[in-house]
Structure 1
Amino acid sequence: MKYIIWILFIATIGSIITGFVIDAEYSQKLIGFGTIGLFFIVFPLFSYYRWKDKKLKDYMLTQENLDKMRENQKRNKY
């Protein structure tokens, strides 16, 4: 999955750069397809890949997590 994301990322960035560099009728389409591919394919795949084994509860501000943060601040206070 990691390599697929890298290949798609390089392809979309390559498409955007190619669209800026070449002077052809379809250069704006290359830029557009590269941008769409980046935001609708690469970023969601990357987000899924990074979050697939994580617990969402660890990142939410619940009362339990707030209490833990306050205890850590009291212990680490100089």
Structure 2
Amino acid sequence: MNLFLKIFGILILVAIGTGFYFRIQGEIILGDRIIGIAVLATAFILMPIFLVIRWRGKKLEDYTLSDKNIKKMRDKGID
């Protein structure tokens, strides 16, 4: 899955570069569409998959500020 993320990320960067290339060549509408699709793919496909992979196997309660974690911080002397 990490290989998929790397390849997909590179493809998105290539698409953004291609979009700017078309903008420079005078095809502004086509360039804007390519850039827009790449940004949407980043926001709605790449980012959620990345977050799922990074959070897999982790407990959310370890990262939230609960009474248990506040007590643990006070016991360690972190205020």
Structures share a fold, TM > 0.5? yes
Greater CA drift, 41-50 or 55-64: 55-64
Structure 1 outlier segments of 4+, above 4 Å: none
Distance in 1, matches of 2:77 and 2:11, equals 46
**Aligned counterpart for 1:69 among listed residues 39, 57, 73:** 73
CA deviations 1:32-75 (Å, max 9, x no partner) are 1100011110000000000011011111111010111122226x
- Equivalent pairs: percent with the same residue? 34
Root mean square deviation, CA, Å: 1.3
2:57 aligned counterpart, secondary structure? coil
Relative to the length of structure 1, the TM-score reads 0.85
| Number of equivalent positions | 74
Relative to the length of structure 2, the TM-score reads 0.84
